[in-house]
Amino acid sequence: MSDVLELVDVSVVRDGRALVDQISWSVAEGERWVILGPNGAGKTTLLNIASSYLFPTKGDAVILGEKLGSVDVFDLRPRIGVAGAAMADKMPRRQTVLETVLTAAYGMTAHWRESYDRSDEDRARLILDRLGMAEYADRKFGTLSEGERKRTLISRAIMTDPELLLLDEPAAGLDLGGREDLVRRLGRLARDPIAPSMIMVTHHVEEIAPGFTHVLMIRQGRVVAAGPIELELNSRNLSHCFGLPLIVERRADRWTAHGLPLT
Ligand SMILES: Nc1ncnc2c1ncn2[C@@H]1O[C@H](COP(=O)(O)OP(=O)(O)OP(=O)(O)O)[C@@H](O)[C@H]1O
């Protein structure tokens, strides 16, 4: 299996401070990674490198076989699907859900022509259906709930049939039902052998869908643990990562974590 992402001694330095610090990490084709870490740990910074929007200050980043700095990122970006809050902010609120997904096929955020290829529209509707959004196709993006918005953006990220799918806190802000609905859908996607390699940033182990295979834990820009989820997602590593005693448990293919009571 070839690597879809390889970081070698990558650091990002701003104002003399390393936001990510000498990180070496690789993601092989077909793997589904979760990035866990506290606020400010550097998760989004890593995702910004993986999406080719941020270049390392030091070290090498190779994405889909192309080294950042030696490749035209405009050739690379269509091969990467990204869904996250930053993308939500760029979406015109008056555009329909269908248009929001369709414009991805043309590498744009806004509707720009009256008619799209029939095959693109069919694909967009099929993906929306998979994410439970078929009946919202004609709704304006700005009128959607948080959960509906997130499912639309994931649909959009999948629209271009990317080789690498990056999800930045896809369940943030969702209520319990919305989270569970999304986790079930992400689980179906994660277990689909023809789905792209995936990297998902989250703060909560409860948001990890069955089918995710690996975990990267970071703290203060450094790797705490990286590897197969069933080996690395344990109480010791999670406690180290978040800086307090935590118990992590796995039941029926799902994860939960809780702190210990103060004595
Ligand atoms: N352009 C920048 N200049 C200076 N500091 C920055 C810049 N961008 C991010 N940071 C800092 O880098 C650190 C890592 O930020 P990042 O957004 O990657 O963390 P995160 O793990 O995604 O956090 P959160 O969970 O809160 O979203 C933070 O302390 C942040 O304030």
pTM score: 0.92
Instruction: Give nearest CA residue, ligand 1 atom 24.
Output: 39
pLDDT at 107: 64
Closest CA to 45 of 20, 26, 76: 20
pLDDT at 174: 87
Pocket of ligand 1 from Cβ distances under 6 Å: 14-15, 19, 37, 39-45
Distance 24 CA to ligand 1 centre (A): 19
pLDDT at 180: 93
Distance 217 CA to ligand 1 centre (A): 15
- What residues form DSSP beta bridges with 36? 202, 217
Q: Which residue has the tokens 């889909």?
A: 64
How many angstroms from the chain centroid is the CA of residue 207? Answer: 12
The residue whose CB lies within 8 Å of the most ligand 1 atoms, and thus the one to mutate among 19, 51, 203, 223, is: 19
* CB neighbour list of residue 261: distance below 8 Å, 6 or more residues apart: none
Which tokens in the block code for residue 93? Answer: 């609120």
pLDDT at 262: 80
pLDDT at 63: 97
Tens digits of per-residue pLDDT, 176-217?
Answer: 998 999 999 999 999 988 889 999 999 999 999 999 999 999
Cα gap 63→50, rounded to integer Å: 7
Match domain 3-259 to its CATH number in 3.30.450.40, 3.40.50.300, 3.20.20.100, 3.40.120.10: 3.40.50.300
Identify the three-state secondary structure at position 100.
helix
Tens digits of per-residue pLDDT, 213-227?
Answer: 999 999 999 999 999
Q: Which residues in the chain show pLDDT less than 70?
A: 1, 106-116
ipTM above 0.90, yes or no: yes
Residue ranges of E strands in the chain: 3-14, 17-28, 32-36, 58-63, 66-67, 80-83, 164-168, 197-202, 214-219, 222-228, 246-251, 254-259
Distance 243 CA to ligand 1 centre (A): 18
The answer to whether 228 and 213 are in contact (CB under 8 A) is yes
